[in-house]
A and B are shown apart, each in its own frame.
Chain A
């Protein structure tokens, strides 16, 4: 039996998540699960599939980053996704690296707000991404392995 693709969709709540949700048709008939950052979005996401909420984290709070990292480790080990798709930010970066360690393919869509250069997370994920999309054409010229196919927002 061919195993269905299990896709991990990960984004911080807010702008990152709304950009990811604009790409619904990519995963509408696949097995999916979400990782996001606040309980507020749980109901909205649960109509599409399983939802894991890991809490907020950013560079300013190393303790929280560790907690979110650990939660992501447990989720990725349990779910073993074949693909991780993310629009950012920190939590997306973590899930992409963890997914890669478990041999998942990584798709990154850098957020529209990164106009002049890639996001910090994007600059890290670029080294391991299998498909890396940006939403401004100039960025695709500026970096290797980066594609522009359009803006989603």
Chain B
């Protein structure tokens, strides 16, 4: 099963539509389950719900063979932590989906570091659906400790 998730804040019709159309055209044949928020586009070719309780969300996420999502950091981080292949379509300012293009920037950078697969447009996403489950994401190294030490060091200099 592939889990399609658009985050909880806003709908993301472009993403829901392209996945639904790919399934309709049989260019992609995995089972898909979606968490699609207040999407005005209703999928015909896969099962979807508006919202999921956190527990259910976590369970479905864990069971999924791959994730399709917007380029939100919450979803991306969760996928990386579980070493799940993830394919993202960034929300774009020009379509009124977000107020800036940070999703595009981070998706491009993370794709170049092989943390995820990305598509800049729905057509490209449709093409990449079939390579999703074979994608092996690079694990991400963070430096939380070093950053915390720098901040602690600064705090100690204060009266």
Which A residues have a C-beta under 8 Å from some C-beta of B?
5, 14-15, 18-19, 22-23, 25-26, 30, 58-60, 82-83, 85, 105, 107, 109, 111-116, 119-120, 130-131, 133, 136, 147, 149-153
Contacts and interface: CB of A to CB of B under 8 A. Distances in A.
Given A112-B73, A114-B105, A150 B143 contact: yes
Nearest to A60: B99
Contacts, number: 84
Contacts of B103: 113
Contacts of A83: 155, 158
Interface of A is mostly: loop
Contact of B147 (A14, A23, A105): A23
Given A60-B99, A130-B154, A151-B142, 7 more contacts: A15-B72, A15-B74, A26-B151, A82-B158, A115-B108, A149-B150, A151-B147
Contacts of B100: 120
B144 interface: yes
A73 B109 CA distance: 37
B147 A150 contact: yes
Contacts of A114: 102, 105
Contact of B150 (A5, A14, A30, A133): A133
A131 to B, nearest CB: 5
A18 B74 contact: yes
B142 A153 contact: yes
A152 B102 contact: no
B2 to A, nearest CB: 23
Contacts of A5: 155, 158
Contacts of B108: 115
Given A112-B73, A150-B142, A151-B143, A26 B148 contact: yes
B147 A133 contact: yes
Contacts of B146: 149-150
B106 interface: yes
User: Which 3 A/B pairs are nearest by Cβ-Cβ distance?
Assistant: A150-B143, A15-B73, A113-B102
